[in-house]
Amino acid sequence: MMPGGGGGIEQFLMRGRRRRPPNAVPDSGLTGPVGVPEPRPTDQPTDLRSRLRRMRESVSGTVRGLPRVFRLTWGASKPLTVTIVVATVVSGLVPTATAYVAKLLMDAVVQAIQVHTTGRPDQAVLGVPLVGDLYLTTEGKIIGVAVIQLVILTVSSVVRSVITISQQLLQERMTLTIRHQVMAHAAQMHLEFFEGSTSYDLMRQASQEAPSRPMSMMNSALGLVQTAITFASMIALLVAVSPVLAVVALLAPLPAFISQSRYGARSFFLNTLLSPIRRRMDYLSSLVTTDTYAKEVKLFGLGGYLTDRFDKLGKAHYARERKLIRQRTVASTGWSMVSTFAGSLIYLYIALRAVTGELTLGDLTLFTTATTQVQAAVGGLFSGFSGMYENNLYLDTLYKFLATKPEITAPAEPKPMPEPLRGHITFDRVSFAYPGADEPALRDVSFEISPGETVAVVGRNGAGKSTLIKLLCRLYDPTEGRILLDGVDIRDLDPADLRARISAMFQDHVSYQATAAENIGLGDLDHLTDRPLIEDAARRGGIADRIERLPRGFDSPLGRWFDEGVSLSGGEWQKIALARAFIRDAPILVLDEPTSALDAQAEHDLFARLRKLAEGRTTLYISHRFSTVRQADRILLLELGQLAEQGTHEELMDLDGGYAELFTLQAAAYLG
Ligand SMILES: Nc1ncnc2c1ncn2[C@@H]1O[C@H](COP(=O)(O)OP(=O)(O)OP(=O)(O)O)[C@@H](O)[C@H]1O
């Protein structure tokens, strides 16, 4: 693991920012879809009836998701939510009002033509009395109606702008609210949650993809409300003018509706099939195009292989997309043909009745507009609902994440931390298995560390050394047995209180994208700006000289996130992480392979300082380097999760067991 490249555990102790845990191997994207729990190809129902049943289930699931979206928007901003809802209702009435005014205008124009052709006085035709003997002229009426139309159009565009602005503002607020909720909840979560890759995906979706979804869903839902209002008001208007024609207008879109629902259902499910493929393609492409993987991809020559995989998926995607386009074309062509046919029939019917004087030309205009609106409303139902369905899936992941309970919490009544804390550590018959693991990582481990003692832990890879530290810091709880600190079971203490008494550095330490001073100060938020303390910690970590040589010394930004950010080597980052551990003046010092990236001189210097630092502190460190291990007061050898040997270097060498074997192997390797 490259120092500075990950950072799982440290975040919990530092309460800082973290990246993907190093052992949570990213989904290769080669074997299966990553993302929202969408139906996989094999889950897809094959016949139309099953599809429609699935669609009904989707409808009910989506409808059930609506109240929570409303609660979210309401919680983010009540005034903006009210504004959007009111504006949507108004905007739903606009098409009906426009259609009615168009009818009035048409009637007024026809009347004006009649006046001019027959020469009859205006008032006799119009009968629109104003004041006393004053009557509105036909031209006056036309102008009046045109003004009303202008007002409606102006109101409509103002309302549209209000909706757009309010939606954008609300979107911003909701995104901030949700990201805050996700961050706050993630900060509470136990380590296992992050180390499990499924949970990790859940959190990634909740934090990156879900925040924009409630607003999209709300927009789709409001679009449907607007459609419903337009639909209802239009039908009411038609009924008021002519009930018979209202029924005709309602029935006209029926064939189109049936055709739309049949093809709409197909294209809807084809689209859900495409989503996982797109996600996998995105992932493969990101492997080749992002810096995170660039070194590995180049080193192993994976570029061509990954591009080939991308192309294969691309072909599958294209085939499905083609099918989808065909379905959509069939649906929309069928839709527009049936609509046009129905519209023409209605138009013809009304035109014939207008000739006989039963209906006016205005009625003709009204019904033509109304039929188009009603048909458009029915068509919009599908696209609106399909958007809501997808957004609701993302929201499900958000709520699932927020509903996940942290497993390591403070007891209801935590015991007070022993004061002064001496740092006496007892592992009492501790066994531990990672959730879902076949084998326990630790079995029946018992040992004690006296206050001020320095203990090194050694063992082969996977022996359980890091796990020991995770349990001591209460990042996991033992499956069996207990760990005592000054005689108190650490499960009875507040975990934050416990961690505040531990200075720690882990193998997968974090390189924060911050200044050098902040990178060290983050080890103890109480001293984040305490420059003398930070500089002292840097000296103890062996990095002070290097930082002082940077262009802006301790104020130099580190990492590539900044334009002028300085890139450090792996060993330098490790020293920064050590300084970060050292800044916290805690009675317990825990170091997981603190010198793995250090050169021989730096390692020697560090251990000289460490010996001073360890004075009066209980120190536990893991190391594979026997040159450092042998300096410990006591050494623990772990083998397959069990404590196999313990004693001083000399005692263990005399024992001539596992420790002596490892030591001899390393010595032989060094000496050739
Ligand atoms: N988050 C995890 N989930 C499941 N199993 C895990 C997890 N972390 C470690 N393990 C397993 O637990 C065992 C002990 O792991 P641990 O990291 O404690 O070993 P280690 O002695 O520190 O190894 P190394 O010297 O390689 O760092 C290993 O078999 C490992 O595969």
- What distance in Å separates the CA atoms of residue 497 and residue 509, rounded to the nearest whole number? 21
Phi, psi of 39 (to 5 degrees): -65, 135
User: What DSSP string describes 343-372?
Assistant: HHHHHHHHHHHHHTTSS-HHHHHHHHHHHH
ipTM computed for the complex: 0.97
400-428 pLDDT, tens digit per residue, is 888 888 888 888 888 999 888 899 999 99
Tell me, in angstroms, the distance from the centre of ligand 1 to residue 435's CA.
12
Q: Can you give the pLDDT at residue 479?
A: 94
Q: What is the pTM of this model?
A: 0.69
Tell me, in angstroms, the distance from the centre of ligand 1 to residue 601's CA.
30
With CA atoms as reference, report the closest residue to 626 among 672, 590, 659, 577.
Answer: 659
Place of tokens 């262009």: 551
- What distance in Å separates the CA atoms of residue 52 and residue 648, rounded to the nearest whole number? 73
Of these ranges, 97-101, 230-234, 273-277, 637-641, the one predicted with the greatest mean pLDDT is 637-641
Residue 333 pLDDT level (bands cut at 50, 70, 90): confident
Amino acid at 337: M
* Ligand 1 in reach of 463 Cβ (< 6 A): yes
**Residues written for the chain:** 672
* Ligand 1 in reach of 31 Cβ (< 6 A): no
Tell me, in angstroms, the distance from the centre of ligand 1 to residue 647's CA.
24
Phi, psi of 135 (to 5 degrees): -120, 150
Strand partners, 425: 449, 485
Tell me, in angstroms, the distance from the centre of ligand 1 to residue 178's CA.
34
* Ligand 1 in reach of 440 Cβ (< 6 A): no
CB 420: neighbour CB atoms within 10 A? 8
* Ligand 1 in reach of 443 Cβ (< 6 A): no
Q: Residue 64 contacts by C-beta under 8 Å, 6 or more apart in sequence?
A: none
Tell me, in angstroms, the distance from the centre of ligand 1 to residue 441's CA.
7
* Ligand 1 in reach of 159 Cβ (< 6 A): no
Q: Hey, which of 1, 192, 445, 465 would you mutate to test ligand 1's pocket, going by the most ligand atoms within 8 Å of its Cβ?
A: 465
442-457 pLDDT, tens digit per residue, is 999 999 999 999 999 9
Q: What is the mean pLDDT of the chain?
A: 79
Tell me, in angstroms, the distance from the centre of ligand 1 to residue 466's CA.
7
Cα torsion at 486, 408, 576, 1 (round to 10°)? 120
- 634-639 and 454-459 as β-strands: parallel, antiparallel, unpaired? parallel
Q: Are 51 and 43 in contact (CB under 8 A)?
A: no
**Alpha-carbon distances of 186 from 71, 178, 181, 403, rounded to whole Å:** 22, 12, 8, 11
**Alpha-carbon distances of 221 from 37, 216, 234, 521, rounded to whole Å:** 22, 9, 20, 48
Tell me, in angstroms, the distance from the centre of ligand 1 to residue 462's CA.
5
208-234 pLDDT, tens digit per residue, is 777 888 888 888 888 888 888 888 888
* Ligand 1 in reach of 636 Cβ (< 6 A): no
Q: What average pLDDT does range 454-480 have in this prediction? A: 94
Kindly report which listed range (3-7, 409-413, 517-521, 645-649) carries the lowest average pLDDT score.
Answer: 3-7
Index of the ligand 1 atom closest to the CA of residue 641: 14
Q: Can you give the pLDDT at residue 356?
A: 82
Cα torsion at 378, 380, 384, 385 (round to 10°)? 30
Domains assigned to the chain:
66-75+176-403 (1.20.1560.10), 425-508+586-669 (3.40.50.300)
Q: Are 167 and 84 in contact (CB under 8 A)?
A: yes
* Ligand 1 in reach of 623 Cβ (< 6 A): no
Cis peptide before 95 (omega within 30 of 0): no
Look at ligand 1, atom 17, and give the residue with the nearest C-alpha. Answer: 466
Tell me, in angstroms, the distance from the centre of ligand 1 to residue 578's CA.
22
- What distance in Å separates the CA atoms of residue 19 and residue 162, rounded to the nearest whole number? 40
